[in-house]
C-alpha cells in the first residue's frame, strides 16, 4: 500500500514479507537504510528522529507498533493513543519512505518463545518500577532490528535508559545495525514531548512542567560546581514536591551502568519518573562534573 501526501509518498508494509520486499528494493537500488522504531502517536520528537535518519539515508523505515510485552500495566496499554493515519502523514512528511505497521501476530507469530534481557542496567530505575518492561522492549527491538537490517537505528535520549539497554544488547548480540542517540525534543516551555502528553488535562499539563524545571534547576546546581548527588537531586525534588507530584525516582546515576552515584565525578544521568494525573512521565538530563 502507498500513502501519498502533497509532497511525499510512503510505502506501508503490514507483513514481514512486504517489509522485506520494500527494503530489498531499496538495497538493490543502492540506498542505505535508516530505521526509527516507534509505538506511533507521532509527535515532533519522533519526526526529529526520522529527519535525522533521512539526512543520512536514502531509505528510512519507521515502525509503528504498540508492543504489548513492554507494558506492565494493562490500563496503560489500553489507553495508549493510536493514530495511524496521522502517523503515516507525519512520518512521510519527515522523510520516512517505508512504514512497517505490523499486527501483534506478525511480530509474535505462533510459537514465539524467546525473551531478550538486557542485563544489570534493566534492574535500575525504570526496570525496578516497571517489571518486565525492558525485557519486552529489548525483545521487540532485536526482532525489529533483525527484520529491517538497517545501517543505523535512531533512538531518543528522552528514554536514556532504554537507549543504554539497546546499546548493550546490540553490542552483546553482534547485531549489525549501528545505534545513534538523538537529543530530547521539548515543547517551548520545556516539557519533553511524549505520546502520553495528550492525556494530560490543562492543569496537569502545567504541573508536569515541574519535571523539566526541576532538571534545569539541578543542572544549574551541578554547573555551579556542586558534586554531591543528594544536593543535586534535592534541587529536582523541590520542584516535584512543589507541584505535589507522585515521584517514582529522581536519581543521579552513572551514565554507563545506571547505578545510583553519591558523587558527580563522571558522566551521569539525572533521571526522573513521576505520575501527573493519569499519566506517568519520564525525563532526564545528562550531567558531567563542572570543569574546575
| Binding residues vs ligand AMP (CB under 6 A) | 38-39, 45-46, 49, 155-156, 158-159, 182, 184-185, 192-195
Virtual torsion, Cα 245, 218, 124, 179, nearest 10 deg: 120
The sign of the CA dihedral 35, 56, 172, 255 is negative
Closest by Cα among 145, 143, 72 to 108: 143
| Shortest spacing between CB 51 and ligand AMP, in angstroms | 11
**Which one of the listed residues 46, 57, 86, 110 is annotated catalytic?**
46
Indicate the residue among 192 and 215 with the shorter CB distance to ligand AMP.
Answer: 192
Closest by Cα among 71, 158, 143 to 100: 143
| Shortest spacing between CB 126 and ligand AMP, in angstroms | 12
| Shortest spacing between CB 243 and ligand AMP, in angstroms | 20
Backbone angles phi, psi at 286, to 5 degrees: -85, 135
Backbone angles phi, psi at 227, to 5 degrees: -110, -15
| Residue facing ligand AMP at closest CB distance | 156
- The span from the CA of 215 to the CA of 176, in Å, is 35
| Catalytic (active site) residue 86 | no
Length of the chain: 292
Indicate the residue among 159 and 239 with the shorter CB distance to ligand AMP.
Answer: 159
Indicate the residue among 126 and 159 with the shorter CB distance to ligand AMP.
Answer: 159
Indicate the residue among 104 and 290 with the shorter CB distance to ligand AMP.
Answer: 104
Q: Cell 519486552, residue?
A: 136
| Shortest spacing between CB 234 and ligand AMP, in angstroms | 26
**Enzyme catalytic residues:** 46
Amino acid at each position: 500500500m502507498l500513502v501519498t501526501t502533497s509532497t511525499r509518498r510512503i510505502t506501508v508494509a503490514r507483513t514481514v514479507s512486504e517489509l522485506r520486499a520494500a527494503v530489498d528494493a531499496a538495497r538493490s537500488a543502492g540506498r542505505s537504510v535508516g530505521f526509527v522504531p516507534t509505538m506511533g502517536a507521532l509527535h515532533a520528537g519522533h519526526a526529529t528522529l526520522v529527519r535525522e535518519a533521512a539526512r543520512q539515508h536514502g531509505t528510512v523505515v519507521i515502525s509503528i507498533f504498540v508492543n504489548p510485552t513492554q507494558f506492565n500495566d494493562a490500563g496503560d496499554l489500553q489507553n495508549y493513543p493510536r493514530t495511524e493515519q496521522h502517523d503515516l502523514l507525519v512520518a512521510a512528511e519527515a522523510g520516512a519512505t517505508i512504514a512497517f505497521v505490523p499486527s501483534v501476530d506478525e511480530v509474535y507469530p505462533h510459537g514465539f518463545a524467546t525473551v531478550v534481557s538486557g542485563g544489570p542496567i534493566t534492574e535500575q530505575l525504570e526496570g525496578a518500577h516497571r517489571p518486565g518492561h525492558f525485557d519486552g522492549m529489548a525483545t521487540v527491538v532485536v526482532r525489529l532490528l533483525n527484520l529491517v537490517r538497517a545501517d543505523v537505528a535512531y533512538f531518543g535520549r528522552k528514554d536514556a535508559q532504554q537507549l543504554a539497554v539497546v546499546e548493550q544488547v546490540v553490542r552483546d548480540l553482534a547485531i549489525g545495525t549501528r545505534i545513534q542517540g538523538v537529543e530530547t525534543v521539548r515543547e517551548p516551555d520545556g516539557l519533553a514531548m511524549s505520546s502520553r502528553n495528550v492525556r494530560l488535562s490543562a492543569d496537569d499539563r502545567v504541573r508536569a512542567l515541574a519535571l523539566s524545571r526541576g532538571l534545569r534547576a539541578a543542572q544549574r546546581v551541578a554547573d555551579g560546581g556542586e558534586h554531591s548527588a543528594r544536593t543535586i537531586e534535592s534541587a529536582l525534588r523541590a520542584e516535584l514536591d512543589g507541584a505535589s507530584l507522585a515521584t517514582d525516582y529522581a536519581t543521579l546515576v552513572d551514565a554507563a551502568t545506571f547505578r545510583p552515584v553519591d558523587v558527580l565525578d563522571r558522566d551521569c544521568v539525572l533521571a526522573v519518573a513521576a505520575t501527573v494525573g493519569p499519566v506517568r512521565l519520564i525525563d532526564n538530563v545528562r550531567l558531567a562534573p563542572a570543569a574546575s
